[in-house]
Amino acid sequence: MFKTIMIAACFGITALAAQSAVAAETTLTLAHNLSKDHVLAKTFAQFASDVDELSNSKMEIKIYPSGQMGETNAVMAMMQQGAIDMTKGFYAELQAYDPSYFIFSVPYLFENDEHLAKVLEGEVAEKINEASRKKGFFNLAGYPSGTRNFATNKPIHTPADLEGMKIRTFSTPTTNRTLELMGASPAPIPFGETYTAVQQGVIDGMANNVTTWVSSRQFEVATIFSESKHSVVVDFLTISNKSWDRLTSEEQEILQQAAEQSISYEKELYQQDLKKARETVLAAGGEFIQIDTAPFKAAVQPLIDELMVDPEKAELIEIVRAAAK
């Protein structure tokens, strides 16, 4: 009797192990350069979980975080070839593949979070995706993460306060021109070198959103955060055309549904992270400066005028402005 029970028990365990070891019918890879505690890394983990649930474990998203597959440019190249299925696309990085992403770096174009959300879900997003598809990829979701501001060791109240200051930024024609018109010198150094560069006096600060300023520990060397809110911060969940095209229509629907759910998840998570970040800064003796943005808007008006000369750029800018209404 005991022997019979043991055989039955072993059979049951073996059957359970075999069931859990069954591979998903479709596996997609998602590579990014973020640490696992970053808001977007957590968002992608939830996205993968939702895909598993919606597909009854027939689909799997295998995530490679923390730059395991290389930095964004290397991953984008692999994704265009179909070697990697998905990645995190930062708007300024994606601008190197298609110029339409410039729209997110135009200073003071977006009035508030609601305005940006409308754009990310509307006509502009469709036009950007249409252009991106020609380069071998498109976006499943867009994630707003606050605004860019100045983190330095002196308060910034007017553009005059930025005169002679070297400010780290992700280099694009629009971001560089923005800083120059405001009186600063753009310093396009690698993000990972920013902390040391400020510490050694190579640069005077950086343009960042609150959460990145804190998660990178840059608030330890640039302690004053002057809230100019001069441009938005947006990341995308980007997928290869080749990867998308090999999915069934049902799998595509599952991926889209999970991506839509991830947008709400990221917004809630970001607000929680933002609250914690501000508390961390204040506890460490850091300072937030609320400033009048009118002088900064006036300073960058020549850039807006320059952009409006280009018919294609002017069209996108007008569509964004219309979305605010």
The residue-averaged pLDDT of 119-128 equals 94
Residues 193/124, Cβ–Cβ less than 8 Å: no
Q: Look at residue 114 and tell me if it is in a domain.
A: yes
Amino acid 185 reads: S
Residue 89 sits in which domain range? Answer: 22-323
Could you read off the pLDDT of 254-301 as tens digits, one per residue? 999 999 999 999 999 999 999 999 999 999 999 999 999 999 999 999
Q: Look at residue 193 and tell me if it is in a domain.
A: yes
Is the pLDDT at 18 greater than 70? The verdict is: no
87 φ/ψ sector (left φ>0, alpha ψ -120 to 50, else beta): beta
Q: Look at residue 3 and tell me if it is in a domain.
A: no
Is the pLDDT at 20 greater than 60? The verdict is: no
Q: How many CA atoms lie within 13 A of 8 on its CB side?
A: 5
DSSP string, 216-271: TTGGGTS-EEEEEEEEEEEEEEEEEHHHHHTS-HHHHHHHHHHHHHHHHHHHHHHH
Q: What is the pLDDT of residue 22?
A: 53
The SS3 call for residue 204 is coil
Rg of the chain (C-alpha set)? 23
Is the pLDDT at 4 greater than 80? The verdict is: no
Q: What is the pTM of this model?
A: 0.88
Q: Look at residue 15 and tell me if it is in a domain.
A: no
Q: Look at residue 174 and tell me if it is in a domain.
A: yes
- How many structural domains does the chain have? 1
Q: What is the dihedral of CA 248, 250, 254, 255, to 10 degrees?
A: 20
What gap in Å lies between CA 106 and CA 213, rounded to an integer? 21
What stretches of 55-100 show up as alpha helix (H) in DSSP? 72-80, 91-94
Could you read off the pLDDT of 65-112 as tens digits, one per residue? 988 998 888 898 898 888 999 999 999 999 999 999 999 999 999 999
187 phi/psi in degrees, rounded to 5: -120, 95
Residues 227/151, Cβ–Cβ less than 8 Å: no
- CATH number of the domain bearing residue 97: 3.40.190.170
Residue that has been written with the tokens 């006096």 in this structure:
201
What stretches of the chain show up as alpha helix (H) in DSSP? 2-20, 39-54, 72-80, 91-94, 113-120, 123-133, 173-182, 194-199, 210-215, 241-245, 249-283, 294-299, 301-307, 311-323
Q: Look at residue 89 and tell me if it is in a domain.
A: yes
Q: Look at residue 1 and tell me if it is in a domain.
A: no
Q: Look at residue 12 and tell me if it is in a domain.
A: no
